[in-house]
Amino acid sequence: MKLKAKLTVGIGFLFIVILVFGILGITSIYKLRNDTDKVLTNNYETLVYNNNMLKSLDELPNNKIAYQDFEKNLLLQEKNITEFGEDDATKWLRKNFEKLKLQPNDSSNYREIRQAIQRINNINQNAILLKKDTAQSTANNAIFWLTVVFTILTIIALTLTVNFPDIIATPIKALAEGITAIANKNYSNRIHLKQNDEFGDLANAFNIMAEKLDEYEHTNLAKIKFEKSRIETIINQMKDGIIGLDEQKNILFINAVAEKMLGLKEQDIIGKYVADIALTNDLMRRLLQDDHRKELKIYADNKESYFNKEVLSVSNDDQVIGNVIVLRNITPFHELNEAKTNFIATVSHELKTPIASIKMSLDLLENKQIGSLNNDQKQLIDSIKDDSNRLLKITGELLNLSQVETGNIQLSLQPCSLINIVDYATNAVKMSAEQKKITIKQEVATSNVLVKADKDKTAWVLINLLANAIKYSDEQSNITIRIEHEVDNLKISVIDKGVGIAPKYLNKIFDRYFKAPSSISTGTGLGLAISKEFIEAQGGTIGVKSIFGEGSCFYFLLPA
């Protein structure tokens, strides 16, 4: 039965209860009123007439009005015959009254009349008693039927009251439980309502929805599982070590390479807090250190290996939900780099001797004792000299670079006067400055000019900075070398009014082989990189400030 029909039946039943009770009550009361009416009107009136007649009889025969009263009440009684036997008794009364009118002094008439009245009274009193019983039985009947109907209706109403809320509450509860299960991702949950009403329809619709969700979840799960095993395969095939952490820093996964490097087994560490593993594993401890030195030297594959550490954040909706530590094996690059450095070192070393002998031969050629040269020959000799000088500079830089790359910078740190170094460097670049008519000025803004440094390396750096300043300055411009005190250091700045450096290249010019586009092409791009290594090896710092098109200021600081 549909819910609508059930509600209609329920409310209809209540309506019927009210109707039945109403009708029953009203008819019972109506019947009772009828019964009592009869008692009151007909029988009571008879008793009144009889009473009046008895009063009139007492005043007879002398009172004429008493005759008239008697006659009037007898007539009324004759019109008010309602009971069985009352008619005969009344007729008998009339007969005796007529006799009394003829023989007023015959006492037997009075007796007969009194007996007749008594008889009518008796008949009516009996009738009253009978009607009282009838009224009582009508009342009893009404009470009985009202009680029966009341009991039946109460039982039905009680059953309805007990069951009706359940008719609505039970399916709603089942639906609410089903919805909660779906909210908790329990898509296999179904609602079992075997009813043919709107709730049944709702349960069916719900079950269809849950089935679809279940299907969707399973296909999604299968997809996710497939993706997971695919990614696991990729991660395990990679040559790099990979460790995955969740947001609580527990280990989620680790691939074979990382397992080997760390000397740990996946099943022993999965799900464990990474900091706990780091307590007993040196390499893990180093991986967790938040240092910016990304390169790690690790003993792996029975040799010293180099790894580049990279920590990637895994985010979901801008929220970090974990990290992946990637250890890239850069040992082959290191080996190649080493081979390159050795090659460069060997080649530049081997080139130095022939270049030196070329320079010596050129000097001899210029010697007048050997023979005089014509102008063309002189020009050729000058050009060969320039080229061999440049070659010597390049081989020198390459040698320095190989020293830097192999970490073999030989330093002899000792107190030395900066003025001497500045003089030496200025002297070394004097010729090229003069060629461009550039003036090199010195500004010494401190009395203490002693630094703890390697004289040769510092001079090399300063010469390099000056050479660059000359190279990138216009003819007839000025270059200033400034010495000043800064906290515990001495700062040497080389300031030129040359081409300057575009801001986007400023953080790159100390990189090896970097040359700003459009800069003069003769150069290796190594000078500043080597300068940086030399200054930092001495515990100093090097930097640059520049305005593109207006000039540059290269400076370095060394401990005073």
Residues that bind ligand ADP (CB under 6 A): 464, 468-469, 472, 496, 498-499, 501, 509, 514-516, 519, 523-529, 552
Least CB distance to ligand ADP at residue 554 (A): 6
Least CB distance to ligand ADP at residue 510 (A): 8
Q: Which is nearer to ligand ADP, 243 or 494 (CB)?
A: 494
Q: Which is nearer to ligand ADP, 146 or 506 (CB)?
A: 506
Question: Could you write out the three-class secondary structure of 11-33?
Answer: HHHHHHHHHHHHHHHHHHHHHHH
Q: Which is nearer to ligand ADP, 328 or 515 (CB)?
A: 515
Least CB distance to ligand ADP at residue 381 (A): 25
Q: Letter for the amino acid at 305? A: S
Q: What is d(CA 281, CA 289) in angstroms, rounded to the nearest whole number?
A: 13
Least CB distance to ligand ADP at residue 295 (A): 23
Question: Could you write out the three-class secondary structure of 454-508?
Answer: CHHHHHHHHHHHHHHHHHCCCCCCEEEEEEEEECCEEEEEEEECCCCCCHHHCCC
Q: Letter for the amino acid at 321? A: I
- By beta carbon distance, the residue nearest ligand ADP is 523
Q: Which is nearer to ligand ADP, 449 or 529 (CB)?
A: 529
Alpha-carbon Rg for the chain in angstroms: 65
For 345, the token pair is 């070192």
Q: What is d(CA 179, CA 209) in angstroms, rounded to the nearest whole number?
A: 11
Please, which residues have CB within 8 angstroms of residue 491's CB and are 6 or more apart in sequence?
482, 483, 484, 485, 555, 556, 557
Q: Letter for the amino acid at 8? A: T
Whether 43 contacts 131, CB under 8 Å: yes
List, in sequence order, every residue forming a beta bridge with 296; answer none if it has no partner. 307
Least CB distance to ligand ADP at residue 526 (A): 6
Least CB distance to ligand ADP at residue 458 (A): 16
For 395, the token pair is 């081989």
CA 195 to chain CA mean position, Å: 40
Q: Which is nearer to ligand ADP, 241 or 527 (CB)?
A: 527
Whether 416 contacts 453, CB under 8 Å: yes
- Look at residues 44, 81, 51, 89 and name the one whose alpha carbon lies nearest to residue 97: 89
If you count DSSP H runs as helices and E runs as strands, how many of each does the chain have, helices first? 15, 12
Q: Which is nearer to ligand ADP, 185 or 504 (CB)?
A: 504
SS3 call for 450: strand
Q: Which is nearer to ligand ADP, 449 or 469 (CB)?
A: 469
Q: Which is nearer to ligand ADP, 223 or 390 (CB)?
A: 390
Q: Which is nearer to ligand ADP, 57 or 516 (CB)?
A: 516
Least CB distance to ligand ADP at residue 259 (A): 43
Least CB distance to ligand ADP at residue 324 (A): 37
Whether 402 contacts 342, CB under 8 Å: yes
Least CB distance to ligand ADP at residue 486 (A): 21
Q: How, if at all, do strands 241-246 and 319-329 pair?
A: antiparallel
